[in-house]
Amino acid sequence: MNRYLAALYKMTWCAGFLFPALVTAQGSLNFDAIDIDTVQLEDNVHVLMGGPAQGNVLVLSGPDGVFMVDSMYAPMHDKLLAAIREISDAPIKYLVNTHMHGDHTAGNAAMAALGATVIGQENIYPRLQALTPENLPTLTYSDSITLHLNGEEVWIFWPQSAHTDHDTMIYLKNANILHVGDVPSNLRYPNIGIDDGGSVEGMTRAARLVLDMTNAETRIMAGHLGPLVPREEMLAQLEMFAEVSQRIQAMIDRGMSLEEVLAARPTADFDEARAAGAITPERFTGLVYTDLLRRQSSSQ
């Protein structure tokens, strides 16, 4: 066993200590105390926000029914549905998932029971099937799919593997609004789905794609916080990703263990601006370290 694989083994043992919230975040939340804030972007476009630990839900309403993005945790269903009903009493026709994580998909089954067609990128199907089959999509796509409803052209597309290997972004063409899911966007430390096909490289590539395909008038909706993100914040996130990744890679090249990298605090000069997110500097450092070490080990 070379030193990289040995370090990876040690890192895997530490994962339960470093990343418990990736698995148990739902159990640590007091859903009774969480309210949903509604932000109106257009006459028929709203964002429903349930705090930093849950995904932002986009709602497009109109005579063709309700189109929504993500479903929060399952215990939020009644509150989420009540917030939607404040906007529209039309049937919920479509629910698109940006990716598999429970803060975005755990309410799928309840929405499907109301008649919603659940849509996801095709790679999400086997991953959800293995974990929470009750939340499976009923319609999957490969590269992109376009819906026409409520006066909007809704482009649903896969930006390639990024936060996971099945990320979906949603672009409302007429409103010029882009929901980017959990691709790095606003000033927080993002989660990296390192066991779900995500990577530092992929997230960086997807963030650059967002900047390339949008303009100064595009409203970029984040998966968490915000809900809208200035392009300057996305640029700042890309700079942070590049700098922290370089620092951690250099430490890996010197044979440093995860504990040693954590003690070196490679994110220290970025921490203050990213204190609002659910991902701590330690968790983010561990995720970057894990991804870079795995990829370096697999290439040898």
Under the banding of pLDDT at 50, 70 and 90, the label for residue 234 is very high
Residue 88 CA to residue 65 CA, distance in Å, equals 8
Looking at residue 228, its pLDDT comes to 95
Q: pLDDT tens digits, residue range 62-76? A: 999 999 999 999 999
Q: For the chain, how many structural domains are there in total?
A: 1
Residue 283 CA to residue 20 CA, distance in Å, equals 10
Residue 3, pLDDT > 50, answer no
Q: Helix H segments across 166-280?
A: 200-213, 231-253, 258-264
Looking at residue 120, its pLDDT comes to 98
Residue 140 CA to residue 117 CA, distance in Å, equals 10
Q: pLDDT tens digits, residue range 120-159? A: 999 999 999 999 999 999 999 999 999 999 999 999 999 9
3-class state of residue 299 by DSSP: coil
Residue 235 CA to residue 149 CA, distance in Å, equals 33
Phi, psi angles (nearest 5°) of residue 107: -95, 10
Looking at residue 4, its pLDDT comes to 36
Residue 299, pLDDT > 90, answer no
Tokens of 10: 């040690």
Residue 272, pLDDT > 90, answer yes
Q: pLDDT tens digits, residue range 162-195? A: 999 999 999 999 999 999 999 988 889 999 999 9
Residue 204, pLDDT > 60, answer yes
- Give the CATH number, domain containing residue 62: 3.60.15.10
**Structural domain for 141, as ranges:** 3-298
